[in-house]
Amino acid sequence: MNLLSPRLPRACLFVVVLLSSAGHAAESGAPLTLQRAIAAALQGDPRLQTFPFQFRAADARAVQAALRPAPEFSFDLENVAGSGEAAGTDAAEATFALSQVIELGNKRDARIGAAQASRSVLAIEHDALQIDVLAEVTRRFITVAEREQQLTLARSAVDLAEKVVAATERRVDAAKAPHAEEDRARIALDRTRLEERGALVALDTARRQLAATWGESQASIDGQPFGAVQADLFATPPAGDFSTLITSLAANPEFLRFASEARLRDAELRLAQSQRKPDVTLSAGLRHLEAADDQAFVVSMSMPLFSERRSSGVVAEAQANRERVDADRRVAEVTVQATLYELHQQLSRSIEDVRALKDDIRPRSAEALSETQRAYERGRYSYLELVDAQREYLAVQAALIAAAANAHLLRVEIERLTNSPVSSTTL
């Protein structure tokens, strides 16, 4: 599935690279890719399901706006049930007439334009919500990948603790260490097992939260449980060029919404201005004179007075609403650009942190731990020195996982703002 296809918005498409299955799944099942999670969320999110009905309603409003005023039929009966000559119906005058309002000032075109602009705003809101859904499911996907790595790390801590217990047993049996040292090692092992269970619970929670984006209460998709997510959490995304990202802000649905709202307010202003020109009502009919038993044609015309003055308040309101859109856009531009700059700086820093931790600090901490373990088994280092080396190694691993996850989450926020990936790499 190509996430760059026109069927899906382009935001949040690059976050993690499909290289290997990270961590261990809380349940057995087929591996889950980000593409499949996104497709399920777009199909199952209940908020998106309401838009087809809203579009149908908007289309109906556009059809209604295009209708011309309906002709009217009227019947008048005069000079009846009076006194004297007007008693009874002998002097009655009956008039049958058809009336038609003639709209002036392009009111119909203005109504159609306002209805169409309103539908455009709705389309932008739909696109914005799609991007929000994509961002949310991607964030939760990253969280699952992070929790899988944390579970893997917790299991590594258990493995290291078991090795320490075995080493302390040998030292105690050889009378090279007190029995309390073995007790401390076993306590540390029990604590790491508790942390492993905690990591397993956290992973299960994250998997359920991911499944909730497509309406599932369990960690399943299409009725089947899914396994580990297919993602390499440590493949850092590129930061991208900030000036290029700034130019991409124009594709943000928030700014597209301002453009659509400006068109809507322009249409509303034209509609309000069209009210300045009064409509003309033409009537034509047939009058029957009962006294003379004659017929005559009746023609009339009417129009409201002082229409321009009476519509001045509506025009002023529409003008103010239009100017407010420009002011809101300027505020949003300043705010979003500042936010984008901060996110870009944080992403650049997180990428550097991941590289330093992965390529420099982690290998050195692993080497230091290995040397400390050998030295401890030979009696050259104490138990506390071994525990400190293990703690340092595990802390570096935890920092690496956190930094990598943070880099991807920052990238999601940048893509949500720019509505475009800064790299062509996809899952």
The DSSP result for 41-78, as a single string, is HHHH-HHHHTHHHHHHHHHHHHHHHTPPPPPEEEEEEE
Q: Say whether 420 sits in a helix, a strand or coil.
A: coil
User: CB–CB of 418/252 below 8 Å?
Assistant: yes
Domains observed in the chain:
17-68+103-276+311-418 (1.20.1600.10)
Which class for 378: exposed (0-12), middle (13-18), buried (19 or more C-beta within 10 A)? exposed
What pLDDT is recorded for position 7? 38
HSE of 171 in the Cβ direction (CA atoms, 13 Å)?
A: 26
What pLDDT is recorded for position 155? 95
Residues of the chain where predicted confidence (pLDDT) is lower than 50: 1-27, 422-427
What pLDDT is recorded for position 100? 85
CA-closest candidate to residue 245, choices 165, 322, 337, 127 = 337
Neighbours of 229 (CB within 10 A): 29
Q: Which segments of 204-279 are extended strands (E)? A: 220-221, 224-232
The token pair at 35 is 């593409």
Please give the single-letter amino acid code of residue 69: P
User: Kind of pairing, strands 30-32 and 220-221?
Assistant: unpaired
Please tell me the distance from the alpha carbon of residue 270 to that of residue 272, in angstroms, as a whole number: 5
The per-residue pLDDT for range 305-354, each reduced to its tens digit, is 777 777 788 888 888 888 888 888 888 788 888 888 899 999 999 999 99
Q: Say whether 241 sits in a helix, a strand or coil.
A: coil
Report the first-to-last Cα separation within the chain, whole angstroms: 9
CA-closest candidate to residue 209, choices 289, 290, 150, 140 = 140
What pLDDT is recorded for position 10? 38
Please tell me the distance from the alpha carbon of residue 148 to that of residue 154, in angstroms, as a whole number: 10
The DSSP result for 190-213, as a single string, is HHHHHHHHHHHHHHHHHHHHHHHT
CA distances from residue 326 to 30, 321, 345, 407 in whole angstroms, order as listed:
50, 9, 29, 34
Please give the single-letter amino acid code of residue 211: A
The per-residue pLDDT for range 245-293, each reduced to its tens digit, is 888 887 777 777 777 667 777 777 777 777 777 778 888 888 877 677 7
